[in-house]
Structure 1
């Protein structure tokens, strides 16, 4: 305290000059103290300690009574800064003294001593040791919200330590980032900027990336803007971080703007830049943009790597263009880029979604022969594919393989199983899996409830579907858009449109706004009940709310118009798809082909079918079945069986509906013996006939009632309107 009193005896005019705006009391006193030390101070009684202690430290005489007495003195906290300044020309000795002092019982370094030591060590290029000091400073003082004081004191002490570079400030900023104190690091940048001190771009890049990885993209954007306002020159790494953030958020407009901006600034994009943009566009299914970026990337001298090819393959899989995906897979191999687990899993997932499970299994085997170990996503895609194909035996085998290989079954796998069992009509078995999950201690999530609710409705058990929906709420789970969507879909599919309308109102009262899927579900239901004006009202409401109709929405529109006999209008809407930026997929083509077939426009339907294949859309069993139905309806048995051969070449198995069509068509053309032969084949494959099949064989059928004209397409529409749950889980 005597030292402090001595400092305050400085002439008032001199002292006033130290208390400038922005300067802390501690900093001002420290400057005063350093000046007193630099002048003759024998009269103050400190010269002895300031001369003696550094010498004893240099001689490593830590047990000397004078050092012991020094550390027990009340004035130690004031004097120690002066001793450190005396040792500034010997940074290693200063560090040694600082560390030894910190170990003394009852002694704690002040903020000043930390700052002085950090500057001394940086001046001596002892960066590692300086980092240790700064980390200790952060842990001791920043818990008390002293960020501004620490920065101010670092600024003040830089003068007395003759430290004119900004290395200490950059290191301090970097340490805050490395310690995960991201918001404090962001505040530190702002404070340093106000002092005309800027961290290195590399340190800012580190904070940008850490903020992005922690889901604080908004703070990354603000920091990036501040960097530009401070005339800092972003590097390719800076731009890559920001472009990647935008791509992950689906903000491709900003991503492209940054891409153009970096090129204008003379910063050349690299492979990572192009990969981020390709991946961002790919996840939105923008195949055209993806291919344009790939071409530009090659022109710039960069060769695509596994990440590039995986993003492109995924893009075409999203658009159900499986042939294009495999074309890039072939290019990948020709380019000697080794496919990885992600590559194979993406392709397997795509094949399974197209119903090509046999081909997917071949790829799965090939993957294993290549020494690649399938992960939970690979298995889940195959399990989901087999479940959708009603091949539950294979699905169970894959579950067993997962367990054998030590891969933990997760919510996704269980949900795929429940979904598959429900689709196969095995709702009770699905309930058993659901109950087993509950009893195993695994928390049943909203999606699992939603899948089983959907299963009940799909099997025409609305009562149990509603009961489970209520049970879910009783368990404390708040229904989301998907849960409400499942119930709405179920009610609409069972013709309970008035109940669906009431539930929609209730959902909106809960603060949930209907999304595109729900609007499409309701619109489809209006079309099915021939309430076409209401369907168009709903479409216009969607547009007014800024919701862009999807391909599925237009499929419902086309299908509804076709069933209402407005084939010409339906064709016009189909032709508008590309003008609206929507790529017609298999489902869209199937809807219009089905409508044309139902209205005896078989030639047009066949031409569209071929066009669909030319554009890279692989027909599924539904698309093939629709065209088979159209040919059989016109009595063209030869053409129908030719289509069947094409199906078999694709590895697609005929289902009950397809067999029913052939039996009906043959019997209708008077070829009863062949109809019975097809029936026998169906039985051998384990497909059990229903009443419709027997009616076809006995001639007691009525096409509209028994074949359920367009029924298979309607079921496919319902499935797609809901949103194909397993797909959503893996995306």
Structure 2
């Protein structure tokens, strides 16, 4: 109050302009640190003078808020402006929750859009009163909706200039702004806010700097991490073990494990003792680069440094060994870890299982899977899929079937992808009935088959001549809402034509046309050839005409099939009559056509 009185006196009387006035301290209760003298914050008297149009109304509202919540306010008879909102907020500074209550009420009841400055004032009020969570949420709302609130406004500048309105200025809001940017994924904006904060003589606290370092590391901005670290040193912001661990991770991610070792030594010189996280980060960096000998050397000296390795240390090394193809050594290290009392998780088991599968050692992989289940762990669908794929690649389909039966019996959930892979493999091996059994298991497990599964089964049964089963599957998928594609119709039409049931094949062709699927040249070839083999030349000619007129299939091969069939039957005249008709359709005979006709004429003259 004394400060405001002095400022008011100075602004009213020029004679007082030479009197010294105190500079407010900004950092007494702040989470920021000052690297240069604090900036004076002018508080002009006009900030405390009410708009002559609304003085009574503002007084009434402030009086009402002292005793009642803002929700009980009726819409004011006079229109309040954004400056009036700020004045009322400033009058409520002694009770920050009252200020926040009025601020939230104003957003929906005053018929105006609150400005960036209104938000910045209430953020400072809340931060000064140590209501950090409410301040951050309000700032979050401002930044997230800045396109609606003030797309051209500078939030940082708004927070910086809020002191001119006479609010309790709290520098911790700049650290909050950095965190809000990072929380929203705006890493570049967070870095820029950090630079500007340091540029005005303020320094975010260590925790904020660590958050920024971690955010920059995640997006791969490694160079900017070091800029932040250098700025911390210039601003005398003391790093902690978290700072060094994040930077150690940055070094390892950038691939310079040698620099990581030097940085760790520099850490120790500055009095920081590396913890297990630091060592694990460095070990992971060595493993990522394939430098396993150095990783194991560091692993062995951890104990000598007074730090105990944890399960993460073992996991990193097991992963590194498996990646390097040294699965047997990885398994030995895994057993050592278990003997020391560290619990093994799904990830480590499945690392070893995957490693053994890549080496084709299915027995060891299945043994580990059994051990895993016995220890109460449920294999992931990905882990089970690795073993199934390994069986399929090595052609051990019957063994794989037994493996699936066992997994289902012990209650391990399987994915649709596992069933799909096995069904396709069985059908390709001409074992569609076994594939159908797996398909039934899939349905029993509540999984929905897709078009790929039906394609494999239909093709498998058609290849084995079991067309009725294939047709049932086609009808079943339609009932499930899955539309058969061209491949399914093609397989069925081929199959029926091959069994001299071309009429059924033609029915399917016309069904697919009704479903807006256009037959291709291969389907037309199969149908015409099927009718010719059955001696039904009229239907063959009719289809040749239909395909040419409806789908512009002017394929000479289909025509030649019919010509050859006529000539083989000694009906050369009919083939010549056909030639005249197909020329009108646009089908051009070729050398093979002439060869068939000459062969037919020669055969007839010989008779």
TM-score (norm 2): 0.57
Paired position in structure 2 for 1:20: none
Aligned residue number for residue 234 of structure 1:
239
- Pairwise CA distance, 1:121: 1.6
CA gap of 1:277–1:118, structure 2 versus 1, over 3 A, is same
1:343 aligns with 2:353: no
Which one of 393, 399, 415 corresponds to residue 408 of structure 1?
415
SS at match of 2:103: helix
Secondary structure of the residue that 2:203 maps to in structure 1? coil
Deviations 1:624-660 (A, max 9, x none): xxxxxxxxxxxxxxxxxxxxxxxxxxxxxxxxxxxxx
Residues 120, 161 of structure 1: 8 Å contact kept: no
1:361 matched to 2:373? The reply is no
Deviation at 1:104, TM superposition (A): 0.9
- CA distance in structure 2 between the partners assigned to 1:117 and 1:87 by the alignment: 10
Deviation at 1:398, TM superposition (A): 4.4
Q: CA deviation at 1:226?
A: 4.4
1:704 aligned residue: none
Match of 2:196 in 1: 191
- Out of 158, 170, 179, the position equivalent to 2:175 is 170
Task: Tell me if structure 2 keeps the 8 A contact 1:349–1:381.
Answer: yes
Residues 314 and 417 of structure 1: is their aligned pair in 2 closer, same or farther, counting only changes over 3 Å?
farther
1:69 to 55, 77, 84: 77
Deviation at 1:341? 1.4
Aligned-pair CA distance for 1:277: 1.9
Contact 1:122 1:167 in 2 (8 A): yes
Aligned pairs (5 A) from 1:259-298: 259-298=264-303
Q: Gaps (5+ residues) in structure 2?
A: 1-10, 16-40, 440-448, 455-607
1:96 CA displacement: 2.1
Contact 1:345 1:378 in 2 (8 A): yes
1:41-77 CA-partner distances (Å, limit 9, x unpaired): 589566544543311222328699997124x24xx22
Query: Deviation of residue 384 (structure 1)?
Result: 4.4
What is the aligned partner in structure 1 of residue 123 from structure 2? 118
Matches within 5 A, 1:40-439: 41=49, 44=52, 47-60=55-68, 68-70=76-78, 72-73=79-80, 76-141=81-146, 149-158=154-163, 160-161=165-166, 163=168, 165-214=170-219, 220=225, 222-228=227-233, 230-387=235-392, 389-398=394-403, 405-408=412-415, 410=417, 439=451
**Equivalent residue for 1:36?**
46
Distance in 1 between residues matched to 2:205 and 2:244, nearest whole Å:
15
Distance 1:290 1:64 in 2: 67
Aligned to 1:461: none
2:586 corresponding residue in structure 1: none
Shift of 1:289: 0.9
- Alpha-carbon distance between aligned partners in 2 of 1:61 and 1:285, rounded to the nearest angstrom: 65
Q: 1:468-515 CA distances to partner (integer Å, 9 max, x unpaired)? A: xxxxxxxxxxxxxxxxxxxxxxxxxxxxxxxxxxxxxxxxxxxxxxxx
State the shift of 1:189 in Å: 1.4
Unpaired segments ≥5 residues, structure 1: 1-9, 15-30, 443-731
**SS at 1:68's partner residue?**
coil
CA contact (8 A) 1:176 1:184 kept: yes
- Over 3 Å counting, the alpha-carbon distance change for 1:343 and 1:134 in structure 2 is same
Structure 1 residues 429 and 305: CA distance shift in structure 2, 3 A = farther
Map of 1:607 onto structure 2: none
Instruction: State the aligned residue count.
Output: 404
Counterpart CA distance in 2 for 1:428 and 1:336 is 49
**8 Å CA contact retained: 1:131, 1:171:** yes
Query: What is the deviation of 1:215?
Result: 5.4
1:37 and 1:311, CA in 2 relative to 1: closer, same or farther beyond 3 A? closer
Instruction: Please tell me whether Structure 1 or Structure 2 has the larger radius of gyration of its CA atoms.
Output: 2
Deviation at 1:202, TM superposition (A): 1.3
Question: Corresponding residue for 1:556?
Answer: none
Whole-angstrom distance in 1 between the partners of 2:56 and 2:225: 53
